[in-house]
Amino acid sequence: MSTGTSVAERIAAVRREGRAALIGYLPVGFPSVEGSVEAMRAMVAGGVDVVEVGLPYSDPLMDGPVIQRATQQALDGGARSRDAFTAVRGVVEAGAPAVVMTYWNLIDRYGVERFAADLAAAGGSGLITPDLLPDDAEDWLAASAKHDLDRIFLVAQTSTPKRLRMTVEAGRGFLYAASLMGVTGVRSVGAEARELVGRCREVSGDLPVCVGLGVRTAEQAADVASYADGVIVGTAFVQALESGGPDAVHALAGELAEGVRAGTPAPA
């Protein structure tokens, strides 16, 4: 069973503070396994509430060029799926819940039950699986239930009402609302994201709705925090690590945390 604080518990705690959660992503192994863990710890110290530990993948379907470059460097450096557990332990020790973000093929190859058991043993909270649909997730639903892990699925502007309901019913932890169509990157988050969150809230019940793809500034974080339960930032953190190391990651986390705290969340 997982020994870490769950994502839902952390989001609920920050909501009681009157704000949204700040969720940060970095891939394990970039620039090295040890360096990535140091950077993740720096995110937590700077104000990130939940950390997404990315698994490097050779054919990333939704990752933009910045994350692709980082994950390729991680793979070239020898990073493997098992290194995620090292990162998870580091994040939990730093005081934040950790979830692994991964394409499903890596979990399938590792072994669904084995990965769930190892993730729980490391103190991880669950998985974000961008390319896994709930109706294809029977093995993961069973393993996550057995090991008390969150299962976080994605929805997008193209998701039908039926698909939204199905995803909410299968999910646990939070619902990942992709603000933009296409790959990740530092782009503008527009009115479409607010509309998507509104549609999600019609069916999400107590499941938090968090927005990812495109947030890069404190101002954008404040805007998204005004209507979502969580603000997810990935590419901007990878760029900060690439250009300035853990210190730059810490500084960016602080700026984004201030932005999130400046937002006035809509009632859940």
| 3-class secondary structure, 218 | helix
Contact 24, 234 (CB under 8 A): yes
Residue that is written with structure tokens 């990740």 in the block: 184
The length of the chain is: 268
Catalytic residue selected from 38, 49, 52, 150? 52
Instruction: Determine the Cα–Cα distance for residues 75 and 32; give it in Å rounded to an integer.
Output: 10
Catalytic residue selected from 49, 63, 223, 229? 63
Active-site residue flag, 118: no
| 169 exposure class (CB count in 10 Å sphere: 0-12, 13-18, 19+) | exposed
| 3-class secondary structure, 191 | helix
Contact 45, 246 (CB under 8 A): no
DSSP secondary structure, 111-140, as one string: -HHHHHHHHHHTT--EEE-TT--GGG-HHH
- Write the single-letter amino acid at 254: G
Active-site residue flag, 52: yes
Q: Which tokens sit at 150?
A: 């969150």
Instruction: Determine the Cα–Cα distance for residues 119 and 127; give it in Å rounded to an integer.
Output: 9
Residues taking part in catalysis:
52, 63
